């Protein structure tokens, strides 16, 4: 990863001893993020439930300060954690070079946040000659997925940026609303079969149907939206939509993974619409811990799938599509 000046990023180098293999950078990122999330879950805290406070920062998705596009996948969780740890008042982030291009700079001594970018490349052996054409007509070119790390800074860590980028966000959070018209319109426009008035909240894959209790059954009506968005998160996984594995039985690792995707989807969608629920599903913490302890990439995959699910739902918002996401 490139360094752009002496204070672009402070790093503490860990020099491996003789004969000691140094972990690959991405493996270090997988381990670090997973360890932090596991530690929070072990203490009974859900890392995607943030203490949104309109006096400090409003509910929303982190975005690139230059393009305005929302970050996606695991980067949402990484940047939310950094947001509250740093006490920042805006969810706008940018790279060292982007700050310089705007006529500003990152303050000396500030620490950046490592996020990752997912992409694909075509190996040379999958191409024919220097032209990079497929090996044979009609044959699909093999591509390899990879993750690249890069460093971003909050606008509050910079000086000399345009004033418009450093002001706190100004929308009003929906923490005590009885109804949220934007969410109501999303549910209606989705075309999903949503049966309101059921005794329990669930998604029935065989019938492709969402069931939720009446809004008045919730202690605080705003939590109705968290629940319906969670179940619609499952709904996006149907084979005719995003086609996720929903074959896991209750208590299995596959079931826990799908519940994690739906819960993150609800958190991301709620944040995008400024909805601040007061409760979250905590029933599956034990199962999630087992999944994350067994695989340090599980939270990365779940967050990626949850972002796709949230974007699928947010595209049904009236007069606007979901914000274009950056990694």
**pLDDT tens column, 245-258:** 999 999 999 999 99
pTM > 0.85: no
Measured CA to CA in angstroms, residue 112 lies from 66, 82, 96, 153 at distances of 17, 9, 9, 5
Name the pairing type of β-strands 158-159 and 105-106. antiparallel
Question: Distance between CA atoms of 100 and 202, rounded to whole angstroms?
Answer: 49
User: What digits encode the pLDDT tens for the residues 25-49?
Assistant: 788 999 999 999 999 999 988 888 8
**What pLDDT does 6 receive?**
34
- Give phi and psi for 64, each to the nearest 5: -75, 130
Question: Distance between CA atoms of 291 and 215, rounded to whole angstroms?
Answer: 32
Question: What integer is the mean pLDDT of 166-171?
Answer: 70
**What pLDDT does 11 receive?**
34
Model confidence at 18, pLDDT cuts 50, 70, 90, reads very low
Close Cβ partners of 83 (under 8 Å, ≥ 6 residues apart): 50, 57, 62, 91, 154
Question: Distance between CA atoms of 194 and 212, rounded to whole angstroms?
Answer: 7
User: What digits encode the pLDDT tens for the residues 253-293?
Assistant: 999 999 999 999 999 999 999 898 877 667 789 999 999 99
**Burial classification of residue 178, based on how many CB atoms lie within 10 Å of its CB (0-12 exposed, 13-18 middle, 19 or more buried):** exposed
Close Cβ partners of 294 (under 8 Å, ≥ 6 residues apart): 253
């Amino acid at each position: 990863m490139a360094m752009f000046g002496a204070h672009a990023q402070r790093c503490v180098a860990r020099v491996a001893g003789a004969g000691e293999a140094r972990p690959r950078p991405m493996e270090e990122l997988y381990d670090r993020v997973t360890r932090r999330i596991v530690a929070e879950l072990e203490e009974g805290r859900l890392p995607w439930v943030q203490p949104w406070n309109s006096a400090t920062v409003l509910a929303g998705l982190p975005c690139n300060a230059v393009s305005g596009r929302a970050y996606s996948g695991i980067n949402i969780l990484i940047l939310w954690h950094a947001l509250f740890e740093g006490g920042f008042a805006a969810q706008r982030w940018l790279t060292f070079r982007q700050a310089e291009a705007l006529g500003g700079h990152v303050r000396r001594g500030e620490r950046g946040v490592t996020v990752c970018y997912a992409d694909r490349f075509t190996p040379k052996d999958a191409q024919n000659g220097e032209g990079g054409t497929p090996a044979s007509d009609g044959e699909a070119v093999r591509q390899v997925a990879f993750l690249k790390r890069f460093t971003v800074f909050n606008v509050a860590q910079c000086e000399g940026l345009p004033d418009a980028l450093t002001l706190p966000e100004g929308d009003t959070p929906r923490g005590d609303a009885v109804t949220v018209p934007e969410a109501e319109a999303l549910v209606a426009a989705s075309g999903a079969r949503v049966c309101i008035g059921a005794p329990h909240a669930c998604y029935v894959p065989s019938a492709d149907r969402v069931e939720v209790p009446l809004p008045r059954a919730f202690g605080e009506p705003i939590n109705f939206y968290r629940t319906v968005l969670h179940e619609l998160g499952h709904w996006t996984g149907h084979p005719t939509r995003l086609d996720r594995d929903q074959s896991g039985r209750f208590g299995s690792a596959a079931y826990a993974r799908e519940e994690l995707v739906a819960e993150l989807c609800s958190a991301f969608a709620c944040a995008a619409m400024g909805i601040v629920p007061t409760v979250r599903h905590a029933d599956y913490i034990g199962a999630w811990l087992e999944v994350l302890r067994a695989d340090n990439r599980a939270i990365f995959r779940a967050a990626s799938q949850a972002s796709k699910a949230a974007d699928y739902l947010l595209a049904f918002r009236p007069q606007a599509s979901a914000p274009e996401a950056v990694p």
